Every structure is written in C-alpha cells, then in structure tokens.
Structure 1
Amino acid sequence: MREKIVLIDGHSILNRAFYGVPDLTNSEGLHTNAVYGFLNIMFKILDEEKPEYLTVTFDVHAPTFRHEMYQEYKGTRKPMAEELRQQVPVIKEVLKAMNIEIIEQAGLEADDLLGTISHQCEKEGLDVSIISGDRDTLQLTTEHIKVRIPKTKQGKTEIEDYLAADVKERYGVTPTEFIDVKALMGDTSDNIPGVPGIGEKTATKIIQEYKTIENAYEHVDELKPPRASKNLKEFWEQAQMSKTLATIRLDAETEFDLNGARHGNPYTKEAHELFQKLQFKNLLGRFDVETSANDVEATFCEVTGKAAIEKIFKEAEKAEKVGVAFSKDKGNVLPLFAHPSGIGRIALCYTEKKTVTIPCDMEMDFETLAGMISGLAEKVKVFSMCGLKESLNYLPQAKRENSFDVIVAAYLLNPLKSDYDYEDVAREQLGLLIDEKTEESTKACYEAYTAYMAVEPLNRKMEETGMTKLFREIEMPLVFTLYEMEQAGIHVEGEALKAYGDQLGNRIVELEKEIYDMAGETFNINSPKQLGVILFEKLEMPHAKKTKTGYSTAADVLDKLAPEYPIVAKILEYRQLTKLKSTYADGLATFIGPDGRIHGKFNQTITATGRISSTEPNLQNIPVRMELGRLIRKVFVPKEGCVFVDADYSQIELRILAHCSGDEQLIQAYREARDIHRMTASQVFHVPFDEVTDLQRRNAKAVNFGIVYGISSFGLSQDLSITRKEAARYIEHYFETYPGIKTFLDQCVADAKEKGYAVTLFGRRRPVPELKSSNFMQRSFGERVAMNAPIQGTAADIIKIAMIRVSDEMKKQNMKSRMILQVHDELLIEAAEEEVDEVKKILKEEMEHAASLSVPLLADMHTGKNWYEAK
C-alpha cells in the first residue's frame, strides 16, 4: 500500500475561499471568511484522503524569474484585496498551531514548489494529491499525481478530480500538451498573453495535431484557420514566452523534507485557542472533548435543599457583584414548580470560583427563588444579567443604580451585530466558546458566569472608548423605561381593526377587477413573472429590464411607468393595500392580548446607529405616506378616562446638523424660527423668500433631509424625478449656501477613515469598516454612514434622554399617565384627562432640554381620542 501526501496550494485555496464564502469578521473586526473557507476545504480533503504527509505551499512576495516576465509583458498581477491580504498571516499562524508543514521559498512561486515536491514524492513511491484552484496544475498530473480543484459555493465545497487520463478525456490533450494549449490561448487571470486571435478550441486542435507549439510553428503555413497561422508568425516570440510562463518547474531546489511533512494530530490546544479567537464555532467539534472543554465548568455545581440554597444566598449577599440567569427548560412538559413561561431553574455566580444552578422544586418553587433573587438585586453593589429587561418582571426590587446588562454593554462596543446573546459575550469578552450540545443546566451556569465575569472587561473597554457615561446615564436607565412601556402596552379596538381590514379587502377586490379589465385578462398580480409579461409584452410598456426569471417589476421600475399608465398606478396601490392588510390589519390582530392591548417589544441592541427598534409587532413602521395607511392609527385608542398626547421633535436631525457643523446661516435661521425649507429653496433656486413655490420648497426639503443621509446626485435625481446634472447643481448650490455643512461632512468622513468609527455628541461609536473595503460601492456606503451616523446617532441619544426624563418625572409626581410608544422622534403618552396639561408641560420641558445645542430643540404636541387624531 503506497503512502500518500497532500500538497495544498496555499494562496490559491485561500483566494478561492475568500470569493466563495460570505464575508465574516470576528469581534475584533478581523476578516476571517478566507481562513474559514480554507479550513473547511482542508478538513474535507483530510477526511477523504487520510494522508500520511501534508504540506501547504505559499508564494513569497519577492522577485522571481516568472514575475519579472509578467511585468515585462503584462505588468504586475492585480493587487490582493485588503480584506484577503490581512488573512494570509492568520492562516499561516493557524497552520503552524496545527503542526502542519508550510513551505515558502524566495525565488520560487507556489506552483513551482508544488511541481518539484510532487514529482520528488512520486519518485519516492508516494501517491500525491495536489489541492489547487489553479488549472495550470493539471500539467502535473500522472498516474500517481492527482490534482483536486475545489469549488466553494455558498459555503459548500465541491471538488473536481484529475489524473493524467482525466485531463486527456476532459481537454483532449495530455498534461504536458496542456501547457502548449495555454501558451497559444493565453490566460488573462494569470497574465499569460498567448497569441491574439487563438481561442481554446483552435489552440486545442492545433496541439492535438502538432503536439507542441514548436512543431506547430514549423508547419505554421499549414495551420487553420489562416488567422491563426498569420498571428502565430507575428507573435511567435510572445507564444514562446507564454509557454515559459505557463510551465511549472519540476526541478527547483527546495528545502522540502518529507519527514517534516509527517501528518499527526492537528487538533492541538494552541489551534483550539486560535479557533476560539477567530470564532469558528462550527469547527470546534473536531477537537477532543478534553481539549475543547472549558476549565470553568469545573466550578459549576447544582444546589438543592432549602438550607443549602439559603446558605448560598447569604454568601452572595456579601459579594461585590453577582451574575444571574433565569433558564428555560426545553420540552413541551413544564417542570411542576417552574414558572408558566418555562423557567425551571436559576443560576447564580458570585465568585469566579463558584457558579451554582438551582432547579425549581417542592422546597424552592420559582416564586420563592425569584423573590430571593429580587432581594439580592436590591442589596449587592453590582447586579448583572444578560438581557436584564426580559427578567425585570420577576425582579420588582431591581434598581437602576446597581444593575448591569452585559448585552447592552457589549452592543455599545460593537453595534454592528444585529443580535446578541450571552454566548457572544462569553466568546468576545472571556474567550469562551460554549458547545451547542451543552446541557441546559450547564448553559444556565455559563450565562450567570458570563454575566459575572464580563462586567470588568466591559467596564474597562467602555472607559477606554469613552462610553461609560453613555452606558450609565442613558442605556441602563433606558432598560427600565422600555420595560415599563412594554408592560403598559397600547390598547387596540379589535372590532375597528377588523372593519379596517374589511375596508382594505373590499378595495383590493375592486382594484383586482379594474386591473384585469385594463389588462384584458386575469392573471396573478402577485407573480412578477406573469405581471412582467402583461406589462412589457402584451401592453408593450417601456423601461423593461430583463432578468434571469423574467422582467423586473420592482417598485423603481413601476414608479417610472405609473404617471403615464393608469394600470401601473393601480398595481402599485394594490401592492400597498395588500401589504397593509396582511401586515397590519390581519397581522396586528394576532398580537392583541387578553387585556385588549398590544405589548410589543422595544429593542435597544439592534440598530447600528443607536435607534430603538420595535418588534412583535413593529409599531414604528405604521404607514404614514398614504391616507388609507394612516387611517389604521384610528384603531389605537387610550383606555377609558384618558387621551393621547403625541409629542414629536421638529426637524431634530437638521437642528443637530446645524449645531455640529457650526454653520452660521443655518444656526441663525433656526434661532429666528424661520421656515428652513423655504429659506433653503430661496438660496438654492435664487428666488426671493416670499416667491418660493410649493414645488421649490418640497424639492429643497428633499435636499435638506437628503444631505443628512449623504445623498448622492443620483439618489436626489431619483427622489425628485430630475436629471442627475440638475440634482448635482442643487447639491452644489446647497453647499454654497451652507459652507459649514460641507466642511463638517467632509471632516466626518476623514475622521471615520482615520479612527475607524463615527461618533455622536454623547460619545456613541459606530464602527465604519466599509471605508476600508476594496469594493467601491461598499466604500461609498461607508462614506454615507460616516456622514449620517453622528447626526442620527445623536438624535437617538437625545430622544432616549427625553424618554427617561419624561417617564421619571411622571412617576415622581405619582401621575396616572404613562408613556406607551416611541417612534423615532415621537413619543406617545396615554394621559389621564385631568393630567393632560401637566403631561404637555413635562413633555415640553424634558424634550426641549434633553440636550444643550446652539439651536433650540422644539417639540410639537397634539392630543386626540385615538393615535390618528393625536398625530
């Protein structure tokens, strides 16, 4: 039985993985997709091949004979993407930690090393598998040298295998003849020029007949077609050079030692630590249990019995801090003494060396244990949890002053993640990767341990990044404010909602009939394929965009057609109404609780800018652009004896822009309470203030708000239905009007490029990794983010401060009124009728003084018997 060696073309496989695996980054912002993809390919090969020897070759970025020739003919290769370049040393570090032999040698390219080593090993009686994404390596195949070419698609790896006979069957030439084919046809990806006018088919036919380019040149006048004959004569020197470029060396002097390539156990402790750091959770299962188990598990234990549990709590009361977790047991059958929600145990950590899990049982049911935890929350200096808001219902004695939510803190440090859980915090802050197969009781201990141990590193990092005050004075108090809003909920008239849905349904039926009549036939309006055929084939409308599946019927396409084609306007209305019905009229009904109220969730760890988001359901996305959409607000009503008071910041983002930019003209306009949009129109369109038309004001409004979001001339032209040139002129005149804004926005981008993040007035950071992307579109997006994040993030901070203060003041005065909804810059209060004037006073005071800016903050207020009237 012949022994086997696997040779991996390092740069080639890393490159292939980089473009085949979606972008990944670890908590430190390091791109890891190429490394992850490389390892998946390598493990797949090792599982299949089970080789005795393993070596990975890499190019050394130093001049070689072939590199010099590349420069002479085609210049240097396309530079490596920065996101890929930074992963090269990482994969080398990982391979070394796995005790895998790496060969890289100045003066030799990786494929020359592969060629020489593979033939040396074949002579020594080994079977060889070369793993490469470069088809040049097919020339190396023999009966005992196999080339395996991986393809990574959506994270999955497929492999093509070639021995010499396979190359002959697939390409019609032998492995050595394959070199000559490439010399004739060239290879733009490898900067091999070849002979102009000779493609793969012609090159293959020539080499099949003449075997080599030299022999073909001797019969050059006989070559077919005549163009190939003419071009080979003219570019003969280039063909020779191309053959040299395409030929992989088999006799290079290498430092390869077969004994050093002996493949042992790659799953070392050092490799495991690296995999944790890189957050390759899915690959950790390859390591032995002894290697992958966290030492911290030895400090976990279960405690039962009233006396033992009471002893634990007495010890915990003396601790500086405690970490707590409420754990839900999986399964359909709840433990007898668990909470109805499924919480069947509580975990508690009060020292690094001890974490306990306490199951609910006859001696200590959930209510008793939760009461003890609530008492603990009041007494200790730091009470820490992962996602505190979700547990506040069980902790009536919990206080803002000593509470710590590690999820919120971790989010502040890395707001780009759309979701956080305790496992993320354990990995990022403590270097712990928790196996998904871990038992529930152990997971509960991990969560409590994480809540306890992560406080110190999170505090340190918030101090280093200047976000401690933001965390203490805004985010942590907000946890309690949002909890109270969720508990309060908002009342919905179920019958009115049903009637609204029926109204929508009737109009949808009418629209269907009208659309069918205008189309001259019935079809599935919701099918883009069928709709495309109707619009662009039967009705022959312009602006058709053909895709793989048919014509595009996206909103931007239909919006262009709607003004001239009534059927399209009706289709757009149909789409809006069907979405209204399914998402709101029908969708909201499922969230109405037994008390007739919707208790949605407000999330503070989802958006990158710091804005609060709303889910289950999303009450921040109630349609406002069309009247029929706005009407749904009528079903939201206050409870008996109350009215709604709605307070909305007036142009808060523009006011923040005025403050941050220091633009004197904009600041003065706000101080004088002038109509900003009319004034902007007057300046941009060069007309007297009193002669500005409504259209000019609307266009100026689009520019004003667009500038805040870093709008481009293209984006503005689309919004205003004007040419890109006109839009560019609007923007140019805008910056001439407000020069301070242009300076400020440019500085925002420059600062973000230098620091890697944008920052709000309150110190909130928004990382902008897109600015370093090799992709132009990504960089452009990053520039818009750098301009907008300080403005939108500051607005988010201000509304949060206002929410906390309004809620606190109403509680301080022991009022019946309560805050029930926040929609970006808007607060909705369910106010007792006798408290309306005081509520308005509190809203005005707290909202308008939430921040001290160089321009006044203004809040508009309205009251109503439903949300529609109040808005």
Structure 2
Amino acid sequence: MPPGNGDSPRELFLIDGNSLAYRAFFALPESISTSDGRPTNAIFGFASMLVKILTDYGQVPTVVVWDAGMSGRKDISPDYKAQRSTRPDLLKLQWPHLRPLVEAFGYRNISVEGFEADDVIAALTEQAKERGVPVMVVTGDRDAYQLVDDGVRIMSTSRGVTDTKVYDRDAVIERYGIPPELVPDFIGLKGDTSDNIPGVPGIGDKTAADLLQKFGDLEGVLSSVDKITGAKRKQNLIDHADNARMSKLLATMVRDVPLDIDLEVEFTRVPDRSNLRTVFRDWELRDPLRRLEEALEAAELETIPRPEDVDTITVKTGLARHPTDITRMKGEEIVVTLAAPEVPEGELIPREPMWRFAAYGGGNIALAGETDDPKLVIAALGDRPVIAHDAKQLGDVPQNLVFDTAVAGYLLDPARRGYPLDELAEERGIGADAGDELATYAVLIHELAKRQRPQIEERGVGDLMNQVELPLVHVLRECEKQGIKLDTKQLETVATRIRADVVTLEREIWDLAGEEFVIGSPQQLGAVLFEKLELSRKRRGKTGFSTDAKVLQAIRDEHPIIPKIERYRELSKLAQTYLDALPNWIGDDGRLHTTFEQTTAATGRLSSINPNLQNIPIRTETGREIRACFIPEPGNVLLSVDYNQVELRVLAHIANEQVLRDIFLRGEDVHTETASAVFDLPPDQLDVGMRSKAKMVNYGIVYGLSAFGLADRLQIPQDEAKAFIDRYLERFPAVAQFMKDAVTQAKEHGYVSTLLGRRRQIPEIRASNWQVRSLGERLAVNTVIQGTAADIIKIAMVNCHRALAKAGLKTRTILQIHDELLFEGPPEEMEQATEIVSREMIGAAQLDPPLTVNAGVGDNWLSAK
C-alpha cells in the first residue's frame, strides 16, 4: 500500500488535463498575458487549479491525464465530437507549456495512444481501488460521475476553474436523482450535446431521471415503453431506441485501458520547488505564485546579503561632517532609501520631521540613521552612482541617478497596476531576512537592479531608460517642487458664479420635469426622462436605462431639459473637481504642487494627481476661466509652448503618408485639407460639418476610432460613418497600410513599439472574441502614435530643462499638460526662453513633416495659451 498517515493512504488525484485546460482558457479573459506578450490565460487557470489542490489538500500524489485518441468511439458513431471546432490559436500557443507546468509540480503526465483521457482515468481508478487507494477525479465532464464509488469522488470544475464542488455518491444522487452507475443510461436517454451524443429527442435531465427511477436502467425503460405516458415521448423512445443504446455505449467509460504506470512511484514524487517558482515567475503568474508560496509555507527565496553591522549616526541640519561618512561606503554604486516618520492617521507630519534613511554599497550597510534634512543625505552622495526605487519619493533626486527599479519595472511591463518593490523582487526570486526595514529595502533594490538591467537591454529599451526616463525623474521632481501659483480670490469669484449657475439650472430642470429629484442620481434621472417624459430609451445598464453622456447627446433634441442637464453636469463636475478642491491643495508657499505619475499610462504618457492639473478643460468657457486663475509670482510671467498637432505629424511620418505630409509642409489647415480630399471638393465649398467630420476622423485614426465610434460621436448612421472612413483611407493609402502593419506586428509579436522602442503588450489582439480583438487592433494603432508623441514630449522636457539651466536663466518648467509645457520666469528672459524652448521642442525628434510649436507669454495660464 502506498505511504500515508497511519492506516489511511493518501488520496490519489487524477486530473483530466484537456478538460481543465479548455475550461481555464474559456473561463478567463484572453487578454491575460506576460509583459513580453505571451498569452497565459489557460496557463494561469491551470496553475491556479493545481495551486488550489496543493493549498486545500497538501502535497498529494497527482496524475494528469491527456487525450490521445477516441477510444474507438468514432467507429461507433462518426458524429461523436464532430461539432467541436479546432483548438483556438491562443490555446495552441499555450498548449506545449502545460505539461512542463505539471512536471514542475512533481506530478506525472500520462496519455495512452488511441484513448481518451476519461477512459485512462477510469482504468487508473480501477487500479487504485484494487489497492485500497482513495481517488479524487478532477474534471468538468459530466460522464465522469459514473466513476463515483466508495473511496472515489469527483471534484467538478464545471462552475469555473477554481470554483469547484466535490461529489460523493450521495451528492450525485442529490443532483441527478440517480446513482453513479446509471450515469451512462442517463446520458443514453438525454444525450450530451457537448460530445454530440444524440440520446432520445424530447428527453431532458428530469425526464431521464424519472424514467430510470421507475424502470431501473435504459433497457428497463426501452422494454416498458407501453407503460410510459405521453404519445410523443413513447414514439420517440420506440423510434430512437438504437440511438439510446449507442449513446449509452458512447458515454460508458472503458476501464481496461493498457497502462504502464506504477502507482507506488507516484506517491514518492515531490516538486522541485526552485524550478516550480522559476516556471511561475517566467509566466508572471503573480497571484498564483503568492498562493503557492503560502501553500509551500517556506518561501525559500534566494537570500540576499543580510543588512548587518549597521553604522547608526544622527545627521542634523548644519552638521556637515556627518554626511562625509558616506565616503566609507563600499562598492561602485549606492542605493539610498528614505522614509518619513509614521504619523497617526488624521495628524500632520511635523514641519521639521526626522527622516530615517539607509544607504547600501553592495557589501554592508555603511550609513543608516535619521535626519531632519534629507537634502543632506542626497547632497553628500555628490556624483557617485545611485540606484533607487521611485527616486522621486526621496524628495531630492540624487545627482547621478543611474537606475530606478520602479521605472525599470514600468518599461518592462507598462500595463501593471503598480510597481511595489516587494512584489518586483519576489517575482525574481529575491527574498530578505527580517531586519531594519529601510536597510533591507536598500539591499532589495540593489539585488533587483542586478536582475532588471539585463532584461532592460534584452528588451531594447536601454536608451529609453538612460536617455529619457531617468533624466526625466529629475525634471518631474523639479516641476513638483516649483509648483504653480493660484489666484484664490479670482478662483472664488468664478466658483461663486458657477455655484449660483448650478442652483439656477437645478430649479430650471425641476420646473421642466414637473417635480424635484436628485439630478445626480442615474435612477431618479432615468425615471424622469424615460418614464415621466417618455424620451427615447437608448441603452440599458445594470440599474435601468443609461443616462450617460452619450445617451443624453443622442436625445438632446427631444426635450429642452437635456441641454440643461448636460450643462448642470459640466458645471457640477468643474465645481467639485477644481473650484472646491484646488484651494485645499495649496502649500505653505501659496502654490499648488501636483505629483507627476511617470509609471501609470501604458502608452508612456504622463499623468498628474493631487491635484490633477492635466484635465482642466480648455475648450469650454468655464474651463478657460479656471485656467486664468493660474498665475506667476509677482515680477514673473508664464510662457506656454505646445506642439502643433504632434500626433498627426507623427502619423504622417510613421505611415510615410505623402499626401498628409504635403498638407503640413504647405502650412495648410490639416482638417480642412483632409475634408477637401475626402469629399473631393475645394476648401471654399466645404461646410463646417464636413471639416468637423474630417477632424474627428483625423484624430479618430490616432485613437483607433471605429465606424461604430465615429457614428456614435457624430450621431450619424454607422454605414455613413464607415463610408466616410473608407473614403479617408482611400485618399490616404499609406495610413491604411500603417494601420494594417501595426495590427500585423501586434498579432505576430504580441506587442507594438514606438519610434523610440517603447513596447506595449497587446494581448487583446489574439482574442477570439470579436469585440476584444477589435479593441486590441485599436490599441495597436493608438499606442504607436500616442506612445511616440509621449516619448517626444518627455525628450522635450529633459532638453528644455538642460538648455535653460545651461543658459543661466531663471525660467523654469512648472507643468506638463499633454502636448504643452508651461514655464515661469522674469519677463526680460521671455524672448530668449521662448527661442530656447521652441528650438528644443522642435528638435526633440526629427520628423518628416517637422515638428512645429505655438508659443505665448502672459500674466496667467489662459493669456499665455
């Protein structure tokens, strides 16, 4: 008897590999992939199930069985499983990696030529029963319930990948109303559409169970037709008796499959834990890996140098001798970590807090302590090479930042939700003994960087890292520190008027509705619009008919209440997001200090938070009023310089579209000229609507707009939108070819790249679902254009920062807003600053057609724009 605990042998797990793999593939989104674009939804689901078994049952002997034939069933019925389509392409890519995954767990893969997995499992079950070994069969197939017996259970995955239910004999009877041994008879009567087993027409689960309960088995049913009620049912049983017998035969498992397996050996297998973790990390199975580590109990990660023998000192403002202790640090590169003191929730950090810090030089921690001035630590590093994780959070970015593990994580996998140090390190097998947190983090960063560096080079983003992203860390931090001044009195004036307008609109909306209601409630608004006013219902949501912006736009002309609701929403949002919130973010220096997020957008774009200054509208009158509230310090002015249609110029360059390129080179209005080309009319015969459509398509191409999306935005029929896009692509054939090429690259490689080599994985492109695949195609086109434009503005920021400093000017970059850079400085510098900034922004990329910029100087952001 195989080894077990006491007198009870361990349960043998028999897994139907094909069943589990298909269920995992179809249960999980096809967009799940690794950072280099390899699809993993089936691998993820399969691994998750194996981890669940390990978690719930411990290290149990397990055999995974695979199909290798039809067990002769095709000879019985040529139609058996004939309806099944070929294996989906995304599953084909993952299939070869499933067996190695099983082996990494220490489990056995088995298949027997000519036989289905079900039959091999049945034969293994019989062998185990003869030796007194309990069995758990893991499958999503219903015919496997016939195996249930004393000591044999079924773990059904029919409800999902890891949402399982275990069936013993009583559970089978409770579910189907019949004992396990009658499952083949049951399927003989009702059939099984998944396997193309016909059964008897008109007989479902309940009828089949009732008949078997009354007459014993299939033959009992067929020989008692005269006792069965219902003329149609009786005739079907007579006419399809042979089909019923054939169906039962097809559903009956073969239990005498020739096997070459020694169950004793299966009970001795153990996983290669190191290899198992390597496989999980290679496929970036982060959540399954976390649960795997918990199941294995001991992390067994590669141990990094222990942060011991820490020299503890105190650095205080003005004591310059202490920072010189950094010169005692060993190694060529230094890692620095800083942390503010823990402060109870709701309380402010003291104005002069003591910051804890640690620095690591590759051997031992050489400096650790606390200071009320982190700048001393940064300054003491001088020009020594420094590695950090999210260097901006240090407060002052080290002068010679040579690597940032958070930025590296972003470049390697831009679609992640975040880049916490612990997570990135654990995925690469790096663990640390417990100790001083900051000291441990310093060592973790050092070891993580050693593993990320070759990956960065292998991915071809080394230049992007060193020449763009790392220098940009300095620029962004300087922008954050500079901040921008807000005219709070003017803002309050705008806010007072807007609040009054909101109250007026609320009353007008109530008057038109004939009742008071909460306008911000979709349910109450929907009841007024669609039940009381009986306006057109466009789209149903989870809680009723939708009242979103697109729906309101579509029914705008049906009732005067709609434009007022749209205006009410616009003003309410502006009031909440900016007018009420912005004053709360003003610092002690009277300026707003936004935080730039460098590692958030998959396209490479920057964003800002606390507060978000990138989404202040410029096209609405109220948005312009808000921008006018951003001002320089007394004695200074603001300089705004933004790119002129940078994304369309990038499109013309990358697509090598001569028609579009010539429009820019002639200095013509690109939207007017596009409309002229598409409608085949001279510019002076175009109306405003034609130019608007051309503008929408121009930018729609950049953003991957579909005919459906264009129709929705322009409120025109979808066939008209499609015809317009088709005419556009006929006039600009190189753009059409570029779009095809971008999609092809994404399909072949799983990712697309910008001009500078920034990669974005597009797992959606390989999805079988049309909507998901269409999204992937739009993302492929969009990312190449938007990502390249994002790279260009980043290069411009770095170059402008350096050039202004080199010229010795006081003018500084204070904001980046999409394609615009905002600067502040003395008025006497503006002519020179404008020349420098314009030169550097135009020179950020050599495009054909060339980049151009618009520049303006003013006493507030609006007038500078």
Q: TM-score, normalised by structure 2?
A: 0.89
**Other-structure match for 1:100:** 107
**Other-structure match for 1:845:** 839
Q: SS where residue 121 of structure 2 aligns?
A: helix
Return the offset for 1:45: 4.7
Q: SS where residue 360 of structure 1 aligns?
A: strand
Return the offset for 1:48: 5.2
| Whole-angstrom CA distance in 2 between matches of 1:192 and 1:613 | 57
| Whole-angstrom CA distance in 1 between matches of 2:261 and 2:642 | 72
Unaligned runs of 5+ in 2: 1-6, 316-320
**Other-structure match for 1:285:** 294
- Establish whether residue 346 from structure 1 lines up as the match of residue 395 from structure 2: no
**Other-structure match for 1:326:** 338
The one of 648, 652, 663 aligned to 1:654:
648
Q: How does 1:162-181 map to 2 (within 5 A)?
A: 162-181=167-186
Return the offset for 1:603: 2.1
| Whole-angstrom CA distance in 2 between matches of 1:770 and 1:304 | 52
**Other-structure match for 2:72:** 65
Q: How does 1:471-620 map to 2 (within 5 A)?
A: 471-620=465-614
- The question of whether the paired residues in 2 share the 8 Å contact of 1:17 and 1:152 is answered with no
Task: Judge which range, 4-13 or 32-41, deviates more.
Answer: 32-41
- Establish whether residue 77 from structure 1 lines up as the match of residue 84 from structure 2: yes
Alignment-mate amino acid for residue 196 of structure 1: P
The one of 123, 128, 146 aligned to 2:135:
128
- The question of whether the paired residues in 2 share the 8 Å contact of 1:327 and 1:346 is answered with no
Q: SS where residue 766 of structure 1 aligns?
A: strand
Return the offset for 1:621: 1.0
Return the offset for 1:25: 4.2
| Whole-angstrom CA distance in 2 between matches of 1:84 and 1:641 | 65
- Establish whether residue 145 from structure 1 lines up as the match of residue 144 from structure 2: no
| Whole-angstrom CA distance in 1 between matches of 2:73 and 2:333 | 64
Return the offset for 1:19: 4.8
- Establish whether residue 741 from structure 1 lines up as the match of residue 724 from structure 2: no
| Whole-angstrom CA distance in 2 between matches of 1:174 and 1:234 | 27
- Establish whether residue 414 from structure 1 lines up as the match of residue 423 from structure 2: no
Return the offset for 1:824: 1.0
The one of 736, 751, 759 aligned to 1:757:
751
Sequence identity percentage: 36
**Other-structure match for 1:779:** 773
Q: How does 1:138-537 map to 2 (within 5 A)?
A: 138-150=145-157, 157-220=162-225, 223-262=228-267, 268-277=273-282, 278-279=285-286, 280-289=289-298, 292-298=300-306, 301-304=309-312, 313-316=326-329, 319-327=331-339, 332=344, 343-348=355-360, 350-351=361-362, 354-356=363-365, 358-360=367-369, 365=371, 367=373, 371=376, 374-378=379-383, 380=384, 382-393=385-396, 395=398, 398-399=399-400, 403-427=402-426, 431-434=428-431, 439=434, 441=436, 443-455=437-449, 457-537=451-531
Q: SS where residue 751 of structure 1 aligns?
A: helix
CA change 1:66–1:621 in 2 (3 A) is farther
The one of 8, 11, 16 aligned to 1:5:
11
- The question of whether the paired residues in 2 share the 8 Å contact of 1:281 and 1:433 is answered with no
| Whole-angstrom CA distance in 2 between matches of 1:301 and 1:228 | 86
RMSD after superposition = 3.3
- The question of whether the paired residues in 1 share the 8 Å contact of 2:11 and 2:136 is answered with yes
Task: Judge which range, 261-270 or 470-479, deviates more.
Answer: 261-270
CA change 1:386–1:4 in 2 (3 A) is closer
Alignment-mate amino acid for residue 303 of structure 2: D
| Whole-angstrom CA distance in 1 between matches of 2:491 and 2:592 | 13
Alignment-mate amino acid for residue 336 of structure 2: V
CA change 1:760–1:17 in 2 (3 A) is closer
Alignment-mate amino acid for residue 804 of structure 1: V
Alignment-mate amino acid for residue 375 of structure 1: A
Task: Judge which range, 298-307 or 769-778, deviates more.
Answer: 298-307
- The question of whether the paired residues in 2 share the 8 Å contact of 1:370 and 1:394 is answered with no
| Whole-angstrom CA distance in 1 between matches of 2:746 and 2:541 | 37
| Whole-angstrom CA distance in 2 between matches of 1:626 and 1:225 | 72
Return the offset for 1:799: 1.5
| Whole-angstrom CA distance in 2 between matches of 1:329 and 1:68 | 76
1:795-816: CA deviations, max 9, x gaps?
1122122222222222222222
- Establish whether residue 112 from structure 1 lines up as the match of residue 119 from structure 2: yes
CA change 1:478–1:213 in 2 (3 A) is same
CA change 1:79–1:358 in 2 (3 A) is farther
**Other-structure match for 2:318:** none
| Whole-angstrom CA distance in 1 between matches of 2:45 and 2:53 | 12
- The question of whether the paired residues in 2 share the 8 Å contact of 1:267 and 1:286 is answered with no
Return the offset for 1:492: 1.3
| Whole-angstrom CA distance in 1 between matches of 2:642 and 2:751 | 29
Return the offset for 1:823: 0.9
1:325-361: CA deviations, max 9, x gaps?
224565649xxx999566423131x33xx24274426
Q: SS where residue 621 of structure 1 aligns?
A: coil
Return the offset for 1:174: 2.1
Task: Judge which range, 727-736 or 189-198, deviates more.
Answer: 189-198
Alignment-mate amino acid for residue 643 of structure 1: V
Q: Which has the higher contact order (CA 8 A, sep 6+)?
A: 2
Return the offset for 1:88: 5.0
| Whole-angstrom CA distance in 2 between matches of 1:404 and 1:61 | 51
- The question of whether the paired residues in 2 share the 8 Å contact of 1:20 and 1:152 is answered with no
**Other-structure match for 2:4:** none
Q: SS where residue 576 of structure 1 aligns?
A: helix
1:187-246: CA deviations, max 9, x gaps?
333333333333223333333333333333334455443333333444444333322222
| Whole-angstrom CA distance in 2 between matches of 1:797 and 1:572 | 35
**Other-structure match for 1:716:** 710
- The question of whether the paired residues in 2 share the 8 Å contact of 1:183 and 1:240 is answered with yes
| Whole-angstrom CA distance in 2 between matches of 1:777 and 1:613 | 28
1:607-651: CA deviations, max 9, x gaps?
122211112221111123432233221221111112222222111
CA change 1:725–1:28 in 2 (3 A) is closer
The total of aligned residue pairs comes to 846
Return the offset for 1:582: 1.9
| Whole-angstrom CA distance in 1 between matches of 2:56 and 2:800 | 65
- The question of whether the paired residues in 2 share the 8 Å contact of 1:418 and 1:605 is answered with no
CA change 1:423–1:840 in 2 (3 A) is same
| Whole-angstrom CA distance in 2 between matches of 1:306 and 1:519 | 69
Alignment-mate amino acid for residue 124 of structure 2: I
Unaligned runs of 5+ in 1: none
CA change 1:518–1:185 in 2 (3 A) is farther
- Establish whether residue 730 from structure 1 lines up as the match of residue 737 from structure 2: no
- The question of whether the paired residues in 1 share the 8 Å contact of 2:594 and 2:610 is answered with yes
The one of 830, 838, 850 aligned to 1:856:
850
- The question of whether the paired residues in 1 share the 8 Å contact of 2:491 and 2:579 is answered with yes
| Whole-angstrom CA distance in 1 between matches of 2:785 and 2:729 | 17
CA change 1:824–1:407 in 2 (3 A) is same
- The question of whether the paired residues in 2 share the 8 Å contact of 1:371 and 1:394 is answered with no
Alignment-mate amino acid for residue 665 of structure 1: V
- The question of whether the paired residues in 2 share the 8 Å contact of 1:360 and 1:366 is answered with no
